Amino acid sequence: MAEVITMPRLSDTMTEGKVAKWHKKVGDKVKEGDILAEIETDKAVQDFESEVEGTLLYVGVEEGGAAAVDSVLAIIGNEGEDISGLTGGAAAPAAGGSEEKKSEEESKTENSSTSVEQTSAEVPAGVEVITMPRLSDTMTEGKVAKWHKNVGDTVKEGDLLAEIETDKAVQDFESEFNGVLLKQGVEEGGAAPVDSVLAIIGPEGTDVSGVGAPKAAAAQSTEKPAEQKAEAPKQESNNQQPATGNNERVAISPLAKKMAQDKGVDIHSVQGSGENGRIVKKDIENYQPSQVKPAASAPAASAAAQVALSFIQGEDTETPNSQVRNIIAKRLSESKFTAPHYYLMVEINMDKAIVARNEINSLPDTKISFNDMIIKATAIALRKHPQVNSSWAGDKIIHRGNINIGVAVAIPDGLVVPVLKNTDQMNYTQISAAVKDMAARAKSKGLKANEMEGSTFSISNLGMFGIETFTSIINQPNSAILSVGAIIEKPIVKDGQIVVGNIMKLSLACDHRVVDGATGAQFLQTLKTYLESPLTLLL
């Protein structure tokens, strides 16, 4: 029986999707896990794989076309099956024929004309104008962190063109076309608005001097013409994927990636069975925890200080703000000035937690940190206090159905908050591996935008720097953030006697619109119980 495939909702803000490319045509055989199409959302272009097997009988959205979420994207069934009742009698659009080619060419022509609408020159035949992509829902401009192709280099579909720095992360940007890189619309280190000309690709020797003038000057050498860039000695092109370790780009379908996040599976340890080793749904379903490799050593969760500057007596210096630092400043200011913060503090006796950690770390191939224990205890405490796991939405409060904890990580450009999805369902080993992986990739700018979205609560830990207590600004749209201090040996009173104890101070910043004082205090008391009596986490 035929199955109707609808336009998927691939992000929390997506209302419609655009079919960037079909990987299957009407009449093609489709297997579970095959890539049906590439769907462009409001944040990125994602592969969409089939969950059913059969023959592609109907394409509901032409390549380059857009449709609302949950509308008919495709129909898969038995070859020759009558699907008129599912399509309202409409004939399936031809795929692979002259009409599709014509539609594709019209779409490309339309996109090209839109991209260069502010220039008077026509786009020569065979030339493609690449625009600055919108890689996140809040992105208004992008900065070219690094070019991987120089003017004159041959470019193939799938080659890495450049690294684009958005307001959230640095992301690889791949070419969708074959040809020669004829022009760079933005110099390395320069920024440009979304949809402005990023690059021009076409046949070698084509004159594109009048097409797509740069929209934004580079941060350095703003007076330098693009022609000088073309004549400059070419640097060796870096077409290879990042080498090894956790910075490696993993080929994985969006569905498999979501399942891996939900299950706390490290995708770097999964062997893919799809095309070219791509990880698909069944690989995650059949994954055995015994396959987990010990995580490489990485800095602790909230860890690195800002890049040290050289002090020069009597000389003032300047550091241009990165996109990340600009957006951090904007978001923190908005949070501080719009959400009425208040703070609660509590002392935790960590004696039993220290013993429990030592016992856990005595197990083979196991090493967890106090931060991992705090993350786990916080996630379980949020189950009992769902009001703290909520968000303010103007005329209503949204009580989140998942517990996704954001862990603050310091990077040279500022602060990012990678998110552990469904943290309450993860064990210590999974939390430890995920935090180390994300912290390492955050510092090398290897995190993807979707790995920093969807948090419902955040944790910031400065204990490794010896900070005993501090307060944090709430990471919107969360309603609370936990600040973790160092474990300090100090005198405490126990059973009427003064003894040495290991004390850690926690500070909880709350948005008073959502979390009342008593609610915040009860949450901290539950968290205190879990940390002072770690066995209660097993109940």
268 is catalytic: no
Q: Which of 12, 70, 207, 516 is catalytic?
A: 516
The answer to whether the beta carbons of residues 36 and 22 sit under 8 Å apart is: yes
Residues 6+ apart with CB under 8 A from 534: 352, 353, 356, 373, 377
The answer to whether the beta carbons of residues 414 and 325 sit under 8 Å apart is: yes
> What's the CA gap between 388 and 509, in Å, rounded?
11
195 is catalytic: no
**Side-chain-facing half-sphere of 478: CA atoms under 13 Å:** 31
The candidate with the shortest Cα–Cα distance to 359, out of 202, 486, 530, 534, is 534
Amino acid at 536: T
The answer to whether the beta carbons of residues 283 and 270 sit under 8 Å apart is: yes
> What's the CA gap between 484 and 505, in Å, rounded?
7
Q: Which helix (H) or strand (E) holds 527?
A: helix 517-532
> What's the CA gap between 381 and 390, in Å, rounded?
14
The answer to whether the beta carbons of residues 281 and 256 sit under 8 Å apart is: yes
**Pairing label, strands 66-68, 341-349:** unpaired
> What's the CA gap between 460 and 301, in Å, rounded?
9
The answer to whether the beta carbons of residues 48 and 94 sit under 8 Å apart is: no
Sheet bearing 405-407, strands edge to edge: 341-349, 497-511, 480-494, 457-461, 405-407, 419-420
Q: What region, left, alpha or beta, does residue 495 occupy, with left being phi > 0 and alpha being psi -120 to 50 degrees? A: left
Strand residue runs (E) in 322-393: 341-349, 390-392
What are φ and ψ of residue 524, in 5° steps?
-65, -35
> What's the CA gap between 95 and 381, in Å, rounded?
53
Q: Which of 23, 268, 341, 512 is catalytic?
A: 512
Alpha carbon separation from 367 to 291, 414, 426 (Å, rounded): 17, 28, 15
Amino acid at 164: I
DSSP state of 437: H
> What's the CA gap between 458 and 451, in Å, rounded?
14
Strand residue runs (E) in 322-375: 341-349
Residues annotated as part of the active site: 512, 516
